[in-house]
Amino acid sequence: MKQNFTVRHGALDGLEAFLSVAQHRSFRKAAAELGVTPSAISQAVRTLEARVGAALFIRTTRSVGLTEAGERFLSRAKPAFEELLAASALARDLGQRPAGLLRLAVPRAAVPFLLEPLIASFCQAYPEIEVEIAASEELVDLAAKGFDAGVRLGQFIAADMVTVRMSEPFRFIVVGSPAYFAKRERPARPDDLRHHACLRWRRSSGVIAHWSLNEAGRAIEIAVSGPLIASDFPTMLGAALEGVGLAQVPEPIATPALKDGKLVQVLEKFAPMAPGMFLYYPGRAQMLPKLRVFIDHIKNRARGARRGRAKAS
């Protein structure tokens, strides 16, 4: 039969008083140390003895000593109480200054163009914080998996999460390699995709996503087909670079290859907009300083980028 084990209410009451009396062998000195009256210390100890079910001290008019039960209780209670104090101090320290391990759940595609420059400057600014990046396409439960925050496309973040913008809105574009287009005509309209090898993305839910495009001002979804299904955009982009087929990916991750001529964009006027990438976390009330300064760092870099664009224009 299953039993429920709980710490009884008030089980620790009187413990600090007991340890102080045991250390000083004096109710008066214990009272002075704890800033209460000797009668309050005496009452706390009597209540503890009643709860334990044994006398812990031998009291005379001249001295205070420990009973055998008191000695045994002291040998176990003192190190346990010291561990509690140490645990409290550690938790309090993390609650008062930016330090500790900051765990982030991030899609692979966001790491090179979004996180790498940000993390480099953040680690230099806050050397007491360790940053762990778990690169995965899975939409993880942050609390259950022990993450402080996550990074995702805005449309995939639950409504009850607090969000912080990390990028401007961007397009989802269709790209292919020059080698691929050497053998096929470039598509001019969404319907032309039926005649092309299209790389597909399997979402973390297991569903293979349709390609989303805009036509005549309305959103459309197309069920494409092709030789490869991947669970992340970097893999799809790599396959497109090798000429396997066309890929629909976030524009920021394809920009370097487009500039180098390794990829060609098609169906430009049909490219839909995505709201951008966001940091998300459960709530402000649960935020530790390590996450607060990371959010401030994101916002400060965003302000600096805006000022830079304003000067350039």
Q: Cα–Cα distance between 24 and 278 in angstroms, integer?
A: 57
Taking the chain, what is the end-to-end CA distance rounded to the nearest angstrom? Answer: 73
Specify the pLDDT at position 9.
44
Q: What is the mean pLDDT of the chain?
A: 87
Indicate if the pLDDT at residue 4 is higher than 50.
Answer: no
**Span 153-167, average pLDDT:** 89
Query: pLDDT tens digit string along 221-264?
Result: 999 999 999 999 999 999 999 999 999 999 999 999 999 999 99
> What integer pLDDT is reported at residue 112 of this predicted model?
82
- Does pLDDT of 3 surpass 50? no
DSSP-assigned beta bridge partners for residue 246: 198
Q: Are residues 14 and 45 in contact, defined by beta-carbon separation less than 8 angstroms?
A: yes
The answer to whether residues 171 and 248 touch, using CB atoms and an 8 Å cutoff, is: no
| Per-residue model confidence (pLDDT) at position 95 | 63
The 3-state DSSP class for residue 284 equals: helix
Q: Report the pLDDT value the prediction gives residue 261, as an integer from 0 to 100.
A: 97
> Which of the pair, 81 or 25, is modelled with greater confidence?
25
Instruction: Give me the pLDDT at residue 216, please.
Output: 83
Residue 26, amino acid: S
Domains of the chain as residue ranges with CATH: 15-96 (1.10.10.10), 100-168+276-312 (3.40.190.10), 170-274 (3.40.190.290)
Q: Residue 13 — very low, low, confident or very high, per pLDDT cuts 50/70/90?
A: confident
Highest mean pLDDT pick, 20-34, 98-112, 177-191: 177-191
Q: Are strands 211-215 and 218-222 parallel, antiparallel or unpaired?
A: antiparallel
